[in-house]
Structure 1
Amino acid sequence: MLALTAGSLSNTLTDLELSMGLDWLFDIRGPQKPPSDVVIVAMDETSENRLGVGQDLTRWRRFHADLIRQLHKQEASLIVFDLQFIRPHPADDQALAAAMRAAGNILLVECVQKFRHGDQDFYGREECSDTNSLPAISREGDSNTELPEQLVAMRKVPPTPTIADAVMDHAPFFLINDATSTSVREVWTFFDALAETPSMPVLTWYYHQVQARKLPVTPRPISSWLTEQRRNCQNNTNEPPVDSSQKRLLGKAICQGDSRYLNYYGPPRTFRMESYADVYEGKVEDLKGKVIFVGRANRQFSPGKSDFFPTPYSDSHTGKMAGVEIMATQFANLLEDSFIEIPAPGWIISSVFGLLVALLLFSFAGWPGIVLSLVFASAYASSAVWLFGQRHWWLPIAGPLLIQLPLSWLLSLAWSRYDLMCERGRILEFVSRVFPQWVGMLPAAPGQWTESANAGIAKSEKDVSGLCLATDIEDYTAIAAQHSPREMWTLLNTYYQVLGHPVVSHDGVIADVTGDAMMAVWFDAPATQQRRAACLAALEMAAAVASFNLSSSQEPLATRIGLHEGDLTLGSLDAGSSSHYRAIGDTVNIASRIQGVNKYLGTRILAAQSIAADLESIVTRPVGTFRVVGRAEPLNLVEVVGKISGDPPSNKMHALFADGLAAFQEGRWPEATRLFQAALALDANDGPSRFYLQKALHYSEMPPLAWDGIVVLDSK
């Protein structure tokens, strides 16, 4: 839940996703090849020097007419001027207008001005400059009085009538040229503030589709028709009479919002770019059918010059991108239907990511969960990169990877630690409450010892020859994952009462209770008495747990038990300022390993062979010799089956198993196979017979190189 909340919170950091996440995706994807039909004629530094115009845009107008004739001669499809012809130049305008009219395929960018606080904070492009910034509103009284509220206004400044009447159409293309602005990632398709006027790339795209006969010819000017269709689209009225394929094209271009995220093809100068002077002088060929964008585009140095903007690919080497290149990029995205799309709201994707990470961390506690969540996050990031490159889908990655994932890890580790401490505290509280005779061996609080409660133990250690009983709950991790800590506490509270009473009733001492495991010891008594008491306690524990599982509505807690005897040290272990009472020694470890062998044999109680000696009232049977993990010396084990009174009854299945075990240990695999199959015919649920049958069948086909009758177990 915390990870889910973090996902919703991280998505609010839009600046992080815009400035980092989207840039990462562009960097990883790398540049792509732009459409070959798009060519930029750059009014660059070389042209400034060769034509002697410098950086004064008004001095270029005398050359535009010859440029248009050269492009018309080469049969260019469309010619788009990213220039605003606002002020008249009588010496040049007539010739330029005649060339535009003769070409018949000229589109002109309109000047757009944006004001905040009336005539303050003015923004415009190129010739759309401060010399044309008239107040957007009128103010009464003192003109020097500051406006009390922020007022935003946009307006178009038309080109000179001579030029406007000569071109095929014109439309605005507006980008904020603000030194404090971040990279240009989003562009307008229509301008709501300008009465739904289409932007120049949309207008150019429609004319291009008309030429390609993919869209119908409409009454000119098309810019006015597009504005009308945009309004009709918003009102769901008067749809244009077009077929289904044309309707899809128009719907995506006209009806989908008023802005789109640009899919940049690469750094500046990724599009084919020809020098204005070279085209003007007729040195450039292969322009037939091309859409030509004419505008300022420096090839070498852009810092400090206007109409250049940072993009996701901008750096100290590439510099900023010219406005005309951004216009060409938007047109190319329209042409290829390749804008960056957001398939679903970012908060939904981030929330789903956070939920899946939380499920992994909840299902797999600790480091396994962290590793699996890292693998999942890597797969998510790889999918996001692939979808960005192949489908142009933008999935959030900065927030999920930089915020959600580390935060989820920290919260998971903190919660696991807190949950563990709470569980330990509840278990120890239960033990001290239910079994008051053990209070002298229990901490007053989790991990703490008091001088009064442990006066005879906390300061001393005792070496004894005793017997250790180890228990473990089968599949405890899976069971705990399905319940809350409170539910597990309630379940274990009853379980340990059931498990502990047989130990106490047979004079045993519980040395440790940790999660799903309990360790009990017998000492300071004759060996035969200890063995008999421990075996009886184990049998009663198994019977009590079976009854508990039948009466419980929760999952059964199948319990495995292992018994071993040997030397032990009983005493307290100091850890900082705390002490912990434990039974220490190899005997404890071996008892735990014997308990684990039950998992392989399908049994419940296993003991070292020495424990079964001279126990006339306990039924046991040998189950083989094993070499367990971490111990070189093999262990001869017996299964503690039950208790009897009087003469032990004969058991034909046990006899067949014993004969089969002898044949198995001597390497007579076919005979062992036959005997184990006969044993299973009498008792199909006998785990040891089933275990050895599988081994015998395997060894019949692939005998071991050196056989000594010992079964090697490679895991706990």
Structure 2
Amino acid sequence: MRRIGRRDIVAAILIALVAGAVVTSPPLQTLQGLSLDILTALRGRLIGDRRDPATSPVVVVAIDGETYDTPPFKGSPTQTWTREIGRVLGSITDGGAKVIGFDVIFKNSIEQSEIPFGDTSFGARLKGFDRDYLIALRQLSDNGKLLLGEILSNDHPDAPYPAQRFAVKNSVRALNVHTDPDDVIRRMPLSFAIDGKPVPTMAVELAARALGGKPEMTPSGASELSGYSIPSAVPNTLTLNFRGMGRDVPTFSFADLRACVEKGDRDFFRRAFDGKVVLLGSILTFDDRKLTSMRLAGGYDGTPGPRCALPAPANAAQKARSEVAGVFVHATVVRNLIERDTVTELGFPARTILTIAFAAVIACAACMLAPSGALTVWFVLTVMYAALAVGAFVHALALPLTEPALASLAALAMMIGYRFVLADRDERFLRKSFAFYLAPEVINTMVASGKMPALGGEMRNVTMFFSDLAGFSSIAETMTPGELVTLMNEYLSAMTDIIESHGGYVDKYIGDSIVAMFGAPADDPAHARNAVHAALKCHEKLAELNANSAAFAGRGLSHRIGLNSGEAVVGNIGSHRRFNYTVMSDTVNVASRLEGANKYYGTAIMASETTMAQTGNSYAWRELDAIRVMGRGEAIKVFEPLAGTGAESAEQAKVATVYAEGLAYWRARDFAKAADAFDGVAKIDPASALFAKRARALSANPPPPDWTPVNTLEGK
């Protein structure tokens, strides 16, 4: 995870502010509406329709396709239906309906037709045709149970025929809707100013009469109905809550109700309409269709109500559609108001703050993580937030959904661009500049801190690794420069790969020598064990190169490796203008001496007692000797690693056993027996041959009484 600095935090905040301000700005206000559409769809699909249409306080009487196909309406102009409409409305009122609203407008009458028909006009011959209809309207209006609808417009207003307006004593209310810039209905107006006074819309007036109250304006400017303060994100509107996706409103075919009147079934009207708000409207597939918040999931033109007299049409099955009949928009308003279930939207300030905060979280994630990780965080958090938003929408609270998602995605993209262009430029420079000189861990520390390396060090317990090619100077004299470079590059590359794969850090190359350490710069509790394993692997690799590499062919190269563990100063050491990440201490000097001591014993790898002790039981060892190296007065015991525990060969085990026996005689001053023991394996073990020679010399000339079994090495 990348560490972020103050500049990154400022950049994340600025990016979040820009992204949040842009997506919540007026030019993109359709995103707010899209959030409502998505929330409506998700709630409908995840939660489902759980509302029983029978509990609906509002029902629809539909002038549908069945009505147009059923006598006496089949083939008849709608202006001739008025008498039957009046009869049906009377039966609905007798059934106990609270109030009836017209979502259809009969703006003319056939009584006014001037079309010639014989000696008089057609209209003159039909004088009095609307009489029964107008009487029915007057009776219903007098009881406060009828509202006619009209469309307010400066250019083409649609209003009921004047005689109808007179009959209902101007109980006419507007059917106008509130359409968003994308032509989708998500909110509905509460009132319109007529002659300078606010007049409630059709749906609001229907709800008010059903509740026995009237809309009022509170001191804060909010609209209130029977104690319910109507939430309003857009002034003088309410946000529609299509909780049942239209299926929670019972719908009765006008043709069936007319037949029910003929049948005289008053009980049916009582069961269907008692205590209900009734809306009369058209639900034809080509007439007055509206796009609403249900457009993504699909809405329904109500649920077919019980039948009274006519059989249900064969094609009565309903399908979800992106558009619904306009009468169901008004029915939704009525139900929302009566049940106090309109949607509450956050205001512009709260919506913007929430959007910016979400974008800031994602921007910070994009600053700390790789692009793929940040994208995963964005997806997970967006899904979690969407689940929260759907849960809130179940309770009619609409949290912004598209704005935070899009703003955070934009912030993610901008932060990635910022990192690539500015923030990570320094990191890429550091990594590229120092990759060939410093350990990856050191570079990571530099990048995380945001600082260039500086002088300083710390005490660490490490294992030092020194290696050198035996007799390489004389071999190099016989090679061309090109051959020498090829051989050294292949050798050093092979050894370095092994060292680094075991957690070691190559400090430096000195000609054909390698200086490395284990346990720094990365912490490694098993540094001694890993160093020994690396030494054994390096020895095996050199044998493989001698056998298979063209550059090594016929050279018979061998190397010596010294290992020592202990405390050392590790860090950036040098001058103020130039320094290296390196190590200093007596631990380093001893490892260097052990590498050289191999030539006295004919061994390839020599380790100190401290290194051997820190490896635990991981390897099979043989103790070589107690030695005193140049520059150090204290004697140290040295050991040779043979192989992993239990992996040593039979010959190695035999040599180790014999050598241990001879070493025991040697330290007991029984030089004759020591010489005999060492002679047993002297032909196959140079170290045993060395001790056999020394034992015979001391057997012939015994040392003084104060002799100690410590070998003081004369050279490096």
The aligned amino acid for 1:114 is S
Alignment deviations for residues 219-249 of structure 1 (CA, whole Å, 9 cap, x no partner): xxx5xxx4xx33x64679xx99xxxxx8742
Partner Cα distance (1:626, 1:618) in 2 = 13
What is the alpha-carbon distance in structure 1 between the residues aligned to residue 230 and residue 386 of structure 2?
Answer: 28
Task: State the 1:325 CA deviation.
Answer: 1.3
Unaligned runs of 5+ in 1: 133-157, 216-221, 241-245, 432-440, 443-468, 482-487, 543-556, 570-590, 592-597, 599-603, 628-632, 637-642, 651-661, 663-716
**Contact 1:263 1:329 survives alignment (8 Å):** yes
Shift of 1:328: 0.6
Q: What residue in structure 1 maps to residue 712 of structure 2?
A: none
Q: Any idea what the Cα deviations from partners look like across 1:472-513, whole Å, max 9, x if unmatched? A: 369x68x966xxxxxx443x33269999xx9xxx9999999x
2:354 to 349, 354, 357: 349
Specify which of 586, 611, 614 is matched with residue 623 of structure 1: 614
In structure 1, the partner of 2:116 is none
Q: Which amino acid aligns with 1:257?
A: P
2:236 to 258, 266, 270: 258
Contact 2:231/2:343 (8 A) holds in 1: no
Instruction: Confirm whether residue 185 of structure 1 aligns to residue 170 of structure 2.
Output: no
1:96 aligns with 2:147: no
Classify 1:81/1:495 alpha carbon distance in 2 versus 1 (closer, same or farther; 3 Å).
farther
Deviations 1:138-182 (A, max 9, x none): xxxxxxxxxxxxxxxxxxxx77453222x8x4422213799x962
- Contact 2:57 2:275 (C-alpha < 8 Å) held by counterparts: yes
- What is the aligned counterpart of 1:22 among 22, 32, 36? 36
Provide the identity percentage: 17
The amino acid of 1:198's aligned partner reads: P
Over residues 597-627 of structure 1, what are the superposed CA-to-partner deviations in whole Å (9 max), with x where a residue is unaligned? x9xxxxx9999x9997768999657333599
- Deviation, structure 1 residue 348: 2.2
3-state SS of paired residue (2:278): strand
Equivalent residues of 1:507, 1:522 under 8 A apart: no
How far did residue 206 of structure 1 move? 1.6
SS of residue matched to 1:257: coil
Rate the CA distance shift 1:312–1:163 in 2: closer, same or farther, 3 A. Answer: same
Query: Following the alignment from structure 2 to structure 1, what is the Cα–Cα distance between the partners of residues 232 and 397?
Result: 20
Could you tell me how far 1:333 is from its partner in structure 2? 0.9
Q: Is the 8 A contact 1:471 1:559 kept in 2?
A: no
For structure 2, the 5+ residue unaligned runs are: 1-11, 112-126, 299-318, 469-491, 542-562, 564-569, 571-583, 598-605, 623-629, 638-644, 646-716
Q: 2:285 maps to what in 1? A: 302
Match of 1:209 among 205, 208, 211: 211
Residue of structure 1 in register with 2:292 after alignment: 311
Cα separation, partners in 2 of 1:173 and 1:38, compared to 1, 3 Å: same
In 1, Cα distance between equivalents of 2:239 and 2:346: 13
CA contact (8 A) 1:354 1:404 kept: yes
Distance 2:455 2:431 in 1: 11
1:437 aligned residue: none
Alignment of 1:341-490 (within 5 A): 341-345=344-348, 346-388=351-393, 390-402=394-406, 404-405=408-409, 408-409=412-413, 411-412=415-416, 415=419, 419-426=423-430, 472=441, 488-490=449-451
Query: Given the superposition, is the C-alpha separation of residues 266 and 498 from structure 1 closer, same or farther in structure 2, using an over 3 Å criterion?
Result: same
Deviation by residue 1:268-288 (Cα, 9 ceiling, x = unmatched): 665210011222332644124
Correspondence for 1:279: 257
Query: Is 2:45 the counterpart of 1:45?
Result: no
Q: Does 1:196 align with 2:198?
A: yes
SS of equivalent to 1:295: strand
Q: Tell me how far apart the structure 2 counterparts of residues 177 and 367 of structure 1 sit (CA, whole Å).
A: 40
In structure 2, the CA distance between the partners of 1:624 and 1:426, relative to structure 1 (3 Å rule), is closer
Counterparts of 1:64 and 1:519, CA distance in 2 = 96
In 2, the alpha carbon distance for the partners of 1:634 and 1:192 equals 100
Aligned mates of 2:620, 2:339 — CA distance in 1: 73
Q: Write the distance in 1 (CA, Å) between the matches of 2:620 and 2:607.
A: 26
Deviations 1:176-222 (A, max 9, x none): 799x9622111101225763221122212122222xxxx5xxxxxx5
- Counterpart of 1:369, as a letter, is A
Preserved CA contact (<8 Å) 2:137 2:146? no
The answer to whether the 8 Å contact 1:426/1:489 transfers is: no
SS state at 2:150 partner? strand
Alignment CA distance shift 1:114-1:385 (3 Å): same
Q: Is residue 108 of structure 2 the alignment partner of residue 106 of structure 1?
A: no
Distance 1:634 1:44 in 2: 96
Q: C-alpha root-mean-square deviation of aligned residues, in Å?
A: 5.3
Counterpart-to-counterpart distance in 2, 1:567 and 1:472: 23
1:252 Cα deviation (Å)? 2.7
Question: Equivalent residue of 2:335, what SS?
Answer: helix
C-alpha deviation, 1:258, in angstroms: 0.5
Give the 3 Å change call, closer, same or farther, for CA 258–69 of structure 1 in structure 2: same
Give the greater-gyration-radius structure (CA): 2
Give TM-score scaled by structure 1 length: 0.53
- Check conservation: 1:37, 1:289, Cα contact below 8 A: no
1: distance between equivalents of 2:631 and 2:101? 103
Partner of 2:554: none
**CA distance in 2: counterparts of 1:365 and 1:177, whole angstroms:** 43
How far 1:373 sits from its partner (Å)? Answer: 2.7
The Cα of 1:371 is off from its aligned counterpart by 2.2
Alignment match, 1:701: none
Rate the CA distance shift 1:275–1:425 in 2: closer, same or farther, 3 A: same
Which residue identity lines up with residue 289 of structure 1 in the other structure? Answer: D
Q: Match for 1:337: what amino acid?
A: R
The answer to whether structure 1 residue 520 and structure 2 residue 489 are counterparts is no
The CA deviation at 1:327 is 0.7
**In the alignment, is the contact (CA less than 8 A) between 1:522 and 1:534 conserved in 2?**
yes
Number of matched pairs? 468
Question: Is 1:79 equivalent to 2:100 in the alignment?
Answer: yes
